[in-house]
Structure 1
Amino acid sequence: MENKQKILIVEDEQSIQKLLKFTLEQANYLTVLASDGEQAIQLVLDETPDLIILDLMLPKIDGIEVCKMLRKQDIETPIIMLTAKGEEMDKIIGLEMGADDYMTKPFSPREVTARVKAVLRRSGEKTSQTESVLKTGQLVVYPERFEVYLNERQLEFTRKEFDLLVYFMRHLNRVLTRDQLLQAVWNYDFAGDTRIVDVHVSHLRDKIEENTRKPRYIKTMRGVGYKFEGQI
């Protein structure tokens, strides 16, 4: 018997909920439905879905708060956030809270299945990989354990901050454009939303740099992007 992956759809608009359910079931996924934030959190615990499609505007508990609460409980189920057109700041906040990707309404069935497949694929790759320790100077990262130490003191990161740091440390001393980072860390294959990169770089600097105005590790390459300097 085929073991289908399960998607939790959290959406209070019935028409969009039905569209997502039909689209995903046509693509051979199982679906579970929630119409508000409280129900969503309970279903994550009860149903252990493989992925969550989470609307931003929900009754009782909004999507950003749901995402934040799940990540605080160390629930790392991949999340695709649904946002209305033009809500750029909400996209940034959602990604900072631990969402893996977002879709802007209105969206096509083809985009839904493509994004779901991409996020599930990346999630599976992370789970199956066994990686060596990444180290430069007093900064040590354990990718498979989601742990970072600086001067032997453990630091706390959001999921995307951690993914960005790991990518930087795998590409030491290379100039990386913002679009490259968007593609690698957020899986965006188009130019735009580069402010998301800048926000996350700023957060990384706050956590690993002694002096954020004169950073030791993450150097800004004006007009291009960033370079993470270190000893290989």
Structure 2
Amino acid sequence: MNPVKKLLVVDDDPELRQLLSGYLNKHGFDTLLAADANDLESLIARFTPDLVVLDRMMPGRDGMAACRDLRAQGEDVPVLLLTAKDEPVDRIMGLESGADDYLGKPFDPRELLARIEAVLRRKAGPSALKPNSPYSFGPFKFDPVTRELSRGDEVIRLTGGEINLLEALINHAGKPLSRERLLALARDDDSGERNDRAIDIAILRLRRAIEDDPKSPRWIQTVWGTGYRFSP
């Protein structure tokens, strides 16, 4: 069974938020609502949505600025912009801000649903780590079923939290991930303290386990100002 897709709807119109929530939940989505873009980044990290439906025209920071900020931080969650402005130049500006699609208001909810599903299909390209299939990089092999990392016949001992972190990095290979995003992706209820420092320590341990020179890493690279990236 496929997991329920999670959507984050950000719009300053409370009536529209509730209408969209009811409609999207009815069609099998798990929906979280927000009134403005201020808490967008923290909500993404906590809720880890599969897609953000983001109103362009909001008080304070508007949707295009919020989308640009997400992309600048290395966040690749799909974004569908909603706006009352539907001129070609507005659509172009919306897409140039990093949005994946653009829908003018008013709209038929069925078109919104169709566009959400189309964006999710486009973004659902093959991940580096296929379900239940071992993933190899260099001399290493990671098995998501046994949750073991090995080098030849040697099993490399890692904690549960470190395994979660490695799996998250592999699944987003080539993409920069913020520490906050990694905290959300590598959730481990038994991992103890949950903060940026915990991610840095876990990354250091992973590098010591797999890198020839942890100070000059080949596989787990630092993206300055953002976080980390797995480079196969």
* TM-score category (smaller protein): 0.5 to 0.7
Q: Structure 1, unaligned stretches of length 5 or more?
A: 131-143, 147-232
1:19 CA drift (Å):
1.6
Q: Deviation of residue 63 (structure 1)? A: 0.3
Cα distance in 1 for residues equivalent to 2:128 and 2:118: 15
Cα deviation 1:92-125 (Å, max 9, x = unaligned): 1110111000111011121111111100011002
In structure 2, what is the Cα distance between the partners aligned to 1:24 and 1:111?
A: 12
Q: Is the 8 A contact 1:83 1:91 kept in 2?
A: no
How far does residue 42 in structure 1 lie from its aligned partner after superposition? 2.0
**Alpha carbons 2:54, 2:81 under 8 Å: kept:** yes
* 1:33-88 CA distance string (max 9 Å, x none): 11111022221122111000000011221101100010011100000000114343
The aligned residue for residue 77 of structure 2 is 77
Where does residue 14 of structure 1 map in the other structure?
Answer: 14
1:128 offset after TM fit, Å? Answer: 6.3
Q: Using the alignment, how far apart are the partners of 1:5 and 1:111 within structure 2?
A: 18
Aligned twin of 1:29: 29
Q: 1:31 to 1:96 in 2, by over 3 A?
A: same
- Please state which structure has a larger fraction of its residues in helix: 1
What is the rounded CA distance, in whole Å, between the counterparts of 1:64 and 1:95 in structure 2? Answer: 9
Which residue matches 2:58? 58
Q: Residues 52 and 79 of structure 2 are in contact (CA less than 8 Å); yes or no, is this contact kept in structure 1?
A: yes
Q: Distance in 2 between matches of 1:93 and 1:129?
A: 34
- Structure 2 CA distance, aligned partners of 1:63 and 1:112? 17
Cα distance, 1:85–1:78 mapped onto 2, change above 3 Å? same
The gaps in structure 2 that reach 5 residues or longer are 131-172, 176-232
Alignment partner of 1:28: what SS? coil
SS in 1 for 2:7: strand
* Residues paired across the two proteins, number: 134
Q: Distance in 1 between matches of 2:108 and 2:128?
A: 31
Q: CA RMSD in A?
A: 2.4
Residue 118 (1) aligns with residue 118 (2): yes
Q: 1:42 maps to what in 2?
A: 42
Residue 127 and residue 59 in structure 1: after superposition, are their counterparts in 2 closer, same or farther (change >3 A)? farther
Shift in Å, 1:129: 10
Cα displacement (A) at 1:2? 6.3
Measured after TM superposition, the shift of residue 145 of structure 1 is 4.0
86 and 117 in structure 1: CA distance in 2 versus 1, 3 angstrom threshold = closer
- The alignment partner of 1:90 has SS state of helix
Find the aligned partners of 2:59 and 2:14 in 1 and give their Cα distance: 13
